[in-house]
Chain A
Amino acid sequence: DAKTTQPPSMDCAEGRAANLPCNHSTISGNEYVYWYRQIHSQGPQYIIHGLKNNETNEMASLIITEDRKSSTLILPHATLRDTAVYYCIVNNNAGNMLTFGGGTRLMVKP
């Protein structure tokens, strides 16, 4: 599976959009981009995934560049409860191949 690179930490003001970048320059054509997050003292939580088209659900939007070498997770109106570590994962297999890197620690501030 392709490796991902994420900034170790980011801050965001409450109510503003949080844009979390991820680089996956070695992604192959059949690999999907998944985002999970881990809120303190909880297990990881699925957010969204995509292949090449932009995706949106009730939690977030995922923007994947045309060359698929990078993506951005967007939380449109961040709240304090969105403070968590966000993991970008590329995967072409079942969940056994989820490789959690270091992730981005997002701090949403009042």
Chain B
Amino acid sequence: NAGVTQTPKFQVLKTGQSMTLQCAQDMNHNSMYWYRQDPGMGLRLIYYSASEGTTDKGEVPNGYNVSRLNKREFSLRLESAAPSQTSVYFCASTGGGTEQYFGPGTRLTVT
């Protein structure tokens, strides 16, 4: 039981490049989330998926797209990376009113 896993752990991109952050959970949770964490800003919700087949925007969705591939997997895509997207990205999941479990994070730098 690995919980929530994220790949990659670290990534450096040049402005304008694209990439996809992968997240998977093995707890049979319905809901999955993508957050970004920046110094002095706390954790902010980018997108979430309340159940398989649905996705909704959070507080800071601009510049990102998501795909809920199946119940286990929820990916985050940056189509054209910008320096403002330099951050630590966390994926999380929850199963109906219970605690949220977080992945270890992806540290992204955009130069």
Answer yes or no: are A and B bound together in one complex.
no
